[in-house]
Amino acid sequence: MRTISSTVISETVARLCQQANYRLPPDVLASLVTARERETTPRACGVLDQILDNAHVARERGIALCQDTGIAEVYLKMGQDAHIEGESLQEAVDRGVAQGYTTGFLRPSIVKDPLDRVNTGDNTPAVLSVTIVPGDKIEITVLPKGGGTENASAMRMFPPSAGWSAVMDFVLETVREKGINACPPLIIGVGIGGSFGTVCGLAKKGLFRPVGSVASDPAYAAREKELLSAVNSLDIGPMGLGGRTTALAVHIEHGPCHIACLPVAVSLLCHSMRRLTETL
């Protein structure tokens, strides 16, 4: 059994919130550079140049890439031989988010009640997901998720007979209808299977995979390639102004499901794709 203080969790979450919001991950940056080389129209090139310049300015000056510094989604892989001493895990994470956002000049974007809509002022509470894994380490990932991309999410229950072609049509329909507002070039997470409650989590899990990575199952790797090519044929392009790069990646995560069901969920991420991981 290894003991980790809740203060260390808070400090790590605070640091991750700030650094994630100031710096694009290297895989996303590399993929944007490649996209810029492939584009030919002045508008698409202009938008991608602004995105690359923005990443430089934000990093150099230690300011947020996007004013929407997101809802703080915190994913914790908790080793079953690790023990947290001090506050509850949710309290520790929330304290880290509050500290990270208020001292890091990040925008508080959370309202306490969805109908009364009064801002909590410090971006808490975090959306905390915990998975128990073997070992005694704690891996913490912070993904600040913008509201514009959350509004572009979609979920539908299909009959099993609908199959892969219906999944493809659904993803393409979602990108066609809502993709522009999610700030393309996008990263597209697709969840297939599970239940009504878990399929959205599968779609989000897809957002964590490095851009450019290939699904471990060859059948799904082929489907990802097919879908990415179809999405990039829509001519939505960077910020919806036309071009070859509507998405940088499509990542599919799948899981077992009921004999009567084919749940599908789509989660989009903007080009300001922020996520950062640290292991304690």
Partner 1 sequence: MPRRLVTSDLVQQIPALKAGDELLISGTLFTARDAAHKRLAQIIADKQALPLDLVGSVIYYCGPAPARPGDAVGPCGPTTSTRMDPYTPMLLSLGVKATIGKGKRSPQITAACRDHQAIYCVATGGVAALLSQRVKRSQIVAFPDLGPEAIWRFEVEDFPVLVATDTKGNDIFAR
* Of 127, 241, 257, 261, the one binding partner 1 by CB under 8 A: 241
* Of 2, 38, 53, 258, the one binding partner 1 by CB under 8 A: 53
Residues 58 and 19: their CA atoms lie apart, in Å, by: 10
Residues 135 and 137: their CA atoms lie apart, in Å, by: 6
What are 85's strand-pairing partners? 5
Residues 13 and 278: their CA atoms lie apart, in Å, by: 9
The span of 9-17, 51-59, 77-85, 89-97 binding partner 1 (CB under 8 A) equals 51-59
* Helix/strand/coil percentages in the chain, nearest 5: 40, 25, 35
Task: Report the residue count for the chain.
Answer: 280
Beta-sheet pairing, 82-85 with 262-269: unpaired
Distance in Å, CB of 50 to partner 1, minimum: 5
Per-residue binding string, partner 1, 138-157, x by CB under 8 A, is ---------xx--x------
Amino acid identity at 233: S
- Structure token pair of residue 193: 């299977």
Restricting to residues 210-239, which ones interact with partner 1 according to CB under 8 A?
Answer: 235, 239
* Of 119, 131, 213, 229, the one binding partner 1 by CB under 8 A: 119
* Of 82, 242, 277, 280, the one binding partner 1 by CB under 8 A: 242
Q: Which residues bind partner 1 (CB under 8 A)?
A: 43, 47, 50-51, 53-54, 57-58, 61-69, 105-109, 117, 119, 121, 147-148, 151, 180-181, 183, 235, 239-242, 270-272
